[in-house]
Structure 1
Amino acid sequence: MGVMRMGFCHVKVMDLAEARDHYVNVLGLYPTLETDDKIYLKGWDEWDHHSVVLEQGGVGVVSHGYKVRHESDLEDIEHNASAFGLSTQRISAGEHVELGDMVRVHLPNGHDADFYATATQLGVEVGVHNPDSFPTDLRNIGAPLLDHALFVGDDVETTERFFTEVLGFYASERMIASHEDGAPLMATWLSTGNKSHDVAFLKGPDGKFHHMSFALKDWAKVTDAADILVHRGYDMDLAPTRHGITRGETTYFFDPSGNRNETFCGGYLMYPDRPTITWTMDELGKGLDYYKREVSGTFLSVFS
């Protein structure tokens, strides 16, 4: 199956003007289209029309999208998802702004995943002909791109099976409840390429959103981002640290509506033949915050 990467996250926000200020002036994303109830944004190093959609009217995730390599992949996903036992829906080109025909799959964890092959391409902000290393008009954090997202729902096992058996992802890391044989799966980190993960799923209430993550260049950029957030009066959900899981370097914080964001860098390269790393819940502190080895009070309790 030709899934290349996560393409977008579509989330609801309480106040569109406040959300615009956060995502444009703090994270540094570029608005590409604004309507009465939605804003579409992209990072400076993304070429498709958008990677984030903000919609007025609440909080939490509406859907998340994945770009596939070929139009024919959509038929395969639709057929194989139905054979797997999941319901699907066809969405015609243009119903989601600047995207082609889509197949929506209703996942076992209460989320909707959208798959598409075509998107209007606006190009990266530095161009592709003798480009500079970054744009000169960066705002504050200046996030280059959407990296991954973590979604919450009860049935992690079946969701993981769908992504691995039908879509061709593979598990880079998994967390189980205990050391006992047959212990329930609590979380999974899934890759479709060479990143440590493109998407992750955590056991919890169906249809909930944990975070979307924006890739930064290095640890210095992660700490710079945290400084900017403090300057702007934000409280850290997780101060700059290293994850044991993925080995990535991270900061967690919330947008004005309560949707969790992450700035992230690093992590190991993943390949399909690399052995899956297994964690147990008693070591979640080490997995989340490698240095303090503590689970923050909000990580397993605050979702949107």
Structure 2
Amino acid sequence: MPIPSPNLYPEFNTVRLSHVEFIVKDLAASRAFYVDTLGLQVSYEDKNAIYLRAMEERGHHCIVLKQGAEAVANVLGMKVYGEEDLDRAKSFFEKKGLPTEWVERPYQGRTLRTRDNFGIPLEFYHKMDRLPPIHQQYKLYKGVKPLRIDHFNCFSPDVDASVAFYSEMGFRVTEYTEDEESKKLWAAWLHRKGGVHDMAFTNGRGPRLHHTAFWVPTPLNIIDLLDLMSTTGYLKNIERGPGRHGISNAFFLYILDPDGHRIEIYCSDYQTVDPDLEPIKWDLKDPQRQTLWGAPAPKSWFEHGSLFAGTEVRDSSLSATPIIAP
């Protein structure tokens, strides 16, 4: 199926992705992973929750960790351009027959909670508490030196339907994989902020969160993280990489946190600001689409994902598969 034409004037204006909230079963173990190992900065913490930000971020948080009985992804957050966009977003989702409510969220202004067409929990806000800049406080840099949250990737049972929905919201496709036999989308990458993606969708049982990605300064930071993880008890948490993607051209590493939430460490993709930039098409059987160089993705990378809170999961009807490592 052809990908949708870009919608340059959507009903409401999403600036970028913003944050994710994870429920974790052991808050201390998660703190050791995200703060002591990856190097995210603590904005606030108590016995029930930890709010974290990366080094270039001025907003209060990009990850919220909350203590709970079951490890799930609670919500994916997006920032909108202005307060009026929140009201327009509410109208947009209500016209789709999707639930909406105003919720109170610490450190955020007025926040709209809703779900997408497959039930992914989303929240939109305009204002978040600003914190002093720390990007030049080099004494704080540690771990992989994360600079900012970069994107989400989600399993979708129907990538064509997910792409159509987010395209209507103004997200623009940069790259996509099409199954030549069915002519259906197997995966797609969509952006708002001018990178390769804020949101991506991969064919599979879903909706589930495949990964949350953080941008780092250089590939050498990823090598440093591998040395650190392999000597501090996290060797088994290294799932895939390092390598370079064909799609996005990014240097990557995939790791799992103590609860199995997948994190991508990511750098070196390219700019996509021009509104008339043509998407790049990939064949599903091209061995360099997922991995330009490096070991092919393991089976777990195509099957494991984080459940979304309160969301029904369904199988995909598209059975086509890419190349998988033995």
Q: What TM-score, normalized by structure 2, do the two folds share?
A: 0.84
Superposed displacement of residue 101, structure 1:
1.2
1:68 is the counterpart of 2:70: no
Secondary structure of the corresponding residue to residue 140 of structure 1? coil
**Match of residue 115 from structure 2:** 106
**Match of residue 226 from structure 1:** 226
Aligned partners of 2:207, 2:197: CA distance in 1, in Å? Answer: 20
Matched ranges for 1:118-157 at <5 A: 118-126=127-135, 132=136, 134-157=137-160
Conservation of the 8 A alpha-carbon contact between 1:109 and 1:156 = no
Conservation of the 8 A alpha-carbon contact between 2:174 and 2:197 = yes
Amino acid at match of 2:180: H
Matched ranges for 1:72-111 at <5 A: 72-83=84-95, 85-92=96-103, 95-111=104-120
Secondary structure of the corresponding residue to residue 286 of structure 1? coil
Aligned partners of 1:265, 1:148: CA distance in 2, in Å? Answer: 12
Amino acid at match of 2:217: K
**Match of residue 9 from structure 2:** none
**Match of residue 206 from structure 2:** 206
Aligned partners of 2:193, 2:150: CA distance in 1, in Å? Answer: 12
Aligned partners of 2:140, 2:64: CA distance in 1, in Å? Answer: 22
**Match of residue 179 from structure 1:** 180
Q: What TM-score, normalized by structure 1, do the two folds share?
A: 0.90
**Match of residue 314 from structure 2:** none
Superposed displacement of residue 123, structure 1:
2.7
Superposed displacement of residue 293, structure 1:
6.5
Conservation of the 8 A alpha-carbon contact between 1:60 and 1:209 = no
1:19 is the counterpart of 2:2: no
**Match of residue 159 from structure 1:** 162
Which deviates more, 148-157 or 21-30?
148-157
1:289 is the counterpart of 2:291: yes
Please list the CA deviations of residues 163-191 of structure 1 after superposition, one character each: whole Å capped at 9, or x if unmatched.
Answer: 111x2110011122x213x5222221111
Calculate percent identity across the aligned residue pairs.
27
Aligned partners of 2:288, 2:121: CA distance in 1, in Å? Answer: 31
Amino acid at match of 1:147: D
Please list the CA deviations of residues 228-278 of structure 1 after superposition, one character each: whole Å capped at 9, or x if unmatched.
Answer: 222223232112110001000001111111111111001111132111112
Conservation of the 8 A alpha-carbon contact between 2:241 and 2:294 = no
Conservation of the 8 A alpha-carbon contact between 1:254 and 1:260 = yes
Conservation of the 8 A alpha-carbon contact between 1:216 and 1:264 = yes
Superposed displacement of residue 104, structure 1:
2.1
Superposed displacement of residue 109, structure 1:
2.6
Superposed displacement of residue 60, structure 1:
2.9
Aligned partners of 2:259, 2:55: CA distance in 1, in Å? Answer: 24
Unaligned runs of 5+ in 1: 127-131
Change over 3 Å in CA distance of 1:184–1:86 after alignment to 2: farther
Please list the CA deviations of residues 178-227 of structure 1 after superposition, one character each: whole Å capped at 9, or x if unmatched.
Answer: 213x5222221111121011111222222312111110012222222222
Secondary structure of the corresponding residue to residue 59 of structure 2? coil
**Match of residue 129 from structure 1:** none
Aligned partners of 2:64, 2:19: CA distance in 1, in Å? Answer: 7
**Match of residue 39 from structure 2:** 28
Aligned partners of 1:263, 1:252: CA distance in 2, in Å? Answer: 6
Aligned partners of 1:221, 1:136: CA distance in 2, in Å? Answer: 16
Unaligned runs of 5+ in 2: 1-11, 307-326
Which deviates more, 44-53 or 265-274?
265-274
**Match of residue 301 from structure 2:** 299
Change over 3 Å in CA distance of 1:173–1:293 after alignment to 2: farther
Change over 3 Å in CA distance of 1:207–1:39 after alignment to 2: farther
Superposed displacement of residue 281, structure 1:
2.2
Please list the CA deviations of residues 124-164 of structure 1 after superposition, one character each: whole Å capped at 9, or x if unmatched.
Answer: 214xxxxx3x5212222221211111112313222222211
